[in-house]
Amino acid sequence: MAEATYTVKGMTCSHCVSSVTEEVSEIDGVQSVDVDLASGKVTITSAEPVPAEKVAAAVTEAGYELIG
């Protein structure tokens, strides 16, 4: 099992959290997504490590920006 945490810029409400969760959840192998609105942190749990590029693409598709 792999876990990775990213920071997402631009989330301001529960709808933002839902959008990011939905897009990131669609990445193959992702088992769970935990989004903390206050800190902007997104923690992904997956069977195998997920490439950061895939996470960045999903976050961008949701309308936000992966930073760091």
pLDDT in tens, the chain (68 residues): 999 999 999 999 999 999 999 999 999 999 999 999 999 999 999 999 999 999 999 999 999 999 97
Task: Check if CATH label 2.130.10.10 holds for domain 2-67.
Answer: no
E strands, the chain, are: 2-9, 30-36, 41-46, 65-67
The arrangement of strands across the sheet holding 41-46 comes to 30-36, 41-46, 2-9, 65-67
Q: Where are the domains of the chain?
A: 2-67
